[in-house]
Chain A
Amino acid sequence: MNKIIKSYAPFMQAGIQTLIIYRMNFLGFVIGGLIYCFVMFYLWRAVFDSNGEGIFLGFSMTDMVIYLFLANTTSQLTYSSVSEVIGEEIKDGSISMRLLKPVNTDLSYMFSELGEVTMKLLVLFLPMITGLEIYRFCITGTVMFNAINFLLFLLSVVLAYIISFRVNLCFGFIAFYVKNLWGIGILKNSIIGFLSGSLIPLAFMPDRLRVCLEYMPFASMGYTPVMIYMGKYGANEILFRIGLQVVWALLLYGLSKLIWFGAIKKLCVQGG
């Protein structure tokens, strides 16, 4: 364990340093996410006003606010830019430099990113959770914070990140075939945004579609932890959902390894 930390710490450090150099960008990223939340907030408020019942498909406005902000913060926290990184490295050829380093390649990507994740955790995620708890307390008048739920939520968030990382790793290799990474990135993000429920709760989808989506890996990337945090799942369901996350994490691990080996072969061919 010590050895792992020792050999990957430089990647993490480099990641944090890059982040700090471009800290304005990071701030923009965070604020951009919040703006989006606000647009959605007002939109939902208008929807609730038009609806007039105060409950919309089992969600109260308070639920909705929490869902919106939490789903977006969680998706920002678990967002992995590894596909962009790999894409760029394939494009400019620097991926071969990474292959030369005597470390596990996917772990090196992950550690480069963990710095950023830590930063998001500190400046975005924790303040947001605190804010939401205060908001919930002001609206309902009771403390609804539940330590066990919260720990399960954190576990689920970690799994969500791992799944997101693996999914993006797989996406990154598309750069071998397509040059328009920007377009692909937009496509990927909007698909993930929609299917993971960060745009609109999956509970609002037509039933059959919802069931399908809930089993797909995308739901595991954001929807599952948020629903756990909100207490929408009972004990059995929580266990089932987390189990599903683990299964997806393993499957995607396998898939990304498969693609990786295929890709390395292609890399050798390209290199002549």
Chain B
Amino acid sequence: MIYAEHLRKEFRKTVKDPGLKGSFKALFKPKKEVVVAADDISFHVPEGEILGFIGPNGAGKSTVIKMLTGILTPTSGECRINGKIPQNDRKNYVKEIGAVFGQRTQLWWDLPLQETYNVLKEIYEVDDAKFKKRMDFLNEVLELEKFIKSPVRTLSLGQRMRADIAASMLHSPKVLFLDEPTIGLDVVVKDNIRQAIMKINKEEKTTVILTTHDISDIELLCDRIVMIDKGKNVYDGSLHELRENFGQTRELVFETDNSSNLTEDLFRKGLNLKGSDLVIESEKNNFKVRFNSTKIPVGEMLSYTLSLTKVKDISVKDSDIEEIIRNLYRQGESSDE
């Protein structure tokens, strides 16, 4: 369905030294610098899948999405969606895709929402009968009735986002690109939009590529994630696998009378653990052990600790996906230094 192969995008940027002096220097001798926004990005999305496309700010997510939608021309590499190369056959290609960029709108700002749909109907050559059926479906999923007659500029952010998603779905695209569709929305509206995306994906077998910073979007919607950082692929696989591979960290929290004698050295020597396999934090009577569960089973860690001190209460924490991703991002940062 969607193939991205070795996508690379370079931008030219004028750089200048700070301050007024730098500004003047830039006026007469602008320094150009090549910025690589995407570097050798490859992945594949089968039909009907919801792919979470994630990465920290400035990782190059939008650049990749824009190459996939045909907005940007890759410096090198190629993408193929439904057998079409977006940049070569743009007009026919875009009929098969829908795109929502959370930070912008494609709606006619000053006119009632319905007008936008009427125009898009013609632009995408949707016939009357199909249009009616489509509007009914979108109305049902996205609940547009309440504001469809209001000028777009008067809509709330959540309404506008629903309206934008509907606009991108009007022509029944096979692929839907959603670039931060939940940005700036409150929890209820977010949930609304997630439901809608799920419904659209289920009922129409629409392939969805979704970028987001909201981990719950990913946990609730995505079958698979591709993570990029600094323009490079860093992970491609299912959420489950991600948890398996990076999520062996367990955390035990003990409440004790006195934890001052429980030092990291003691644990390291006693259990023969090294480096990042063990982290200990203690604060007053709370004593936290984070460890790699492939090196030492949870039970063993538990009994070892119990042998050292008197414990009032114990809790075990599973690593959540947010934590894993944060760790992955961090790894990227430290390898950079």
The residues in A between 12 and 41 inclusive whose CB is less than 8 angstroms from any CB of B are 13, 16-17, 20-21, 23
Greatest chain B CB density within 10 A among A16, A20, A21 is at A20
Complex CA–CA separation, A23 to B26 (angstroms): 10
Complex CA–CA separation, A20 to B14 (angstroms): 11
Residues of A within 8 A of B19 (CB): 13
Least distance between A15 CB and chain B CB atoms (Å)? 10
Contact A13 B27, beta carbon cutoff 8 Å: no
For chain B, the bracket of interface size reads: under 10
Residue in B16, B20, B26 whose CB lies within 8 Å of A13: B20
For chain A, the bracket of interface size reads: under 10
Interface status of B150 (Cβ within 8 A of chain A): no
Interface status of B118 (Cβ within 8 A of chain A): no
Number of A-B contacts (CB under 8 A): 13
Complex CA–CA separation, A21 to B20 (angstroms): 13
Least distance between B268 CB and chain A CB atoms (Å)? 52
Least distance between B75 CB and chain A CB atoms (Å)? 24
Closest to A13 in B: B20
Interface status of B23 (Cβ within 8 A of chain A): yes
Least distance between A11 CB and chain B CB atoms (Å)? 13
Residues of B within 8 A of A16 (CB): 20, 23
Residues of A within 8 A of B20 (CB): 13, 16
- Report B65-101 CB contacts with A as 1/0, cut-off 8 Å: 0000000000000000000000000000000000000
Least distance between A124 CB and chain B CB atoms (Å)? 14
Complex CA–CA separation, A20 to B23 (angstroms): 7
Residues of A within 8 A of B23 (CB): 13, 16-17, 20
- Report B9-34 CB contacts with A as 1/0, cut-off 8 Å: 00000101001100110110000000
Least distance between B49 CB and chain A CB atoms (Å)? 39
Residues of A within 8 A of B27 (CB): 20, 23
Least distance between B212 CB and chain A CB atoms (Å)? 27
Complex CA–CA separation, A119 to B116 (angstroms): 45
Complex CA–CA separation, A13 to B24 (angstroms): 11
Complex CA–CA separation, A16 to B26 (angstroms): 11
Complex CA–CA separation, A20 to B27 (angstroms): 6
Closest to B20 in A: A13
Complex CA–CA separation, A75 to B16 (angstroms): 31
Least distance between A50 CB and chain B CB atoms (Å)? 44
Closest to B19 in A: A13
Residues of B within 8 A of A13 (CB): 19-20, 23
Complex CA–CA separation, A242 to B16 (angstroms): 42
Least distance between B143 CB and chain A CB atoms (Å)? 27
Complex CA–CA separation, A21 to B19 (angstroms): 13
Complex CA–CA separation, A13 to B20 (angstroms): 6
Complex CA–CA separation, A17 to B17 (angstroms): 11
Residues of B within 8 A of A23 (CB): 27
The residues in A between 119 and 150 inclusive whose CB is less than 8 angstroms from any CB of B are none
Residues of B within 8 A of A20 (CB): 16, 23-24, 26-27
Least distance between A127 CB and chain B CB atoms (Å)? 16
Residues of A within 8 A of B16 (CB): 20
Complex CA–CA separation, A163 to B198 (angstroms): 61
Complex CA–CA separation, A23 to B14 (angstroms): 12
New A-B contacts (10) at CB < 8 Å, excluding given A13-B20, A20-B24, A20-B26? A13-B19, A13-B23, A16-B20, A16-B23, A17-B23, A20-B16, A20-B23, A20-B27, A21-B14, A23-B27
B-side residues, CB < 8 A to A, are 14, 16, 19-20, 23-24, 26-27
A-side residues, CB < 8 A to B, are 13, 16-17, 20-21, 23
**13 A-B contact pairs sorted by A residue (CB < 8 Å):** A13-B19, A13-B20, A13-B23, A16-B20, A16-B23, A17-B23, A20-B16, A20-B23, A20-B24, A20-B26, A20-B27, A21-B14, A23-B27
Complex A-B, nearest 10 residue pairs according to Cβ-Cβ distance, in ascending order: A20-B27, A20-B23, A17-B23, A13-B20, A16-B23, A20-B26, A23-B27, A16-B20, A20-B24, A13-B23
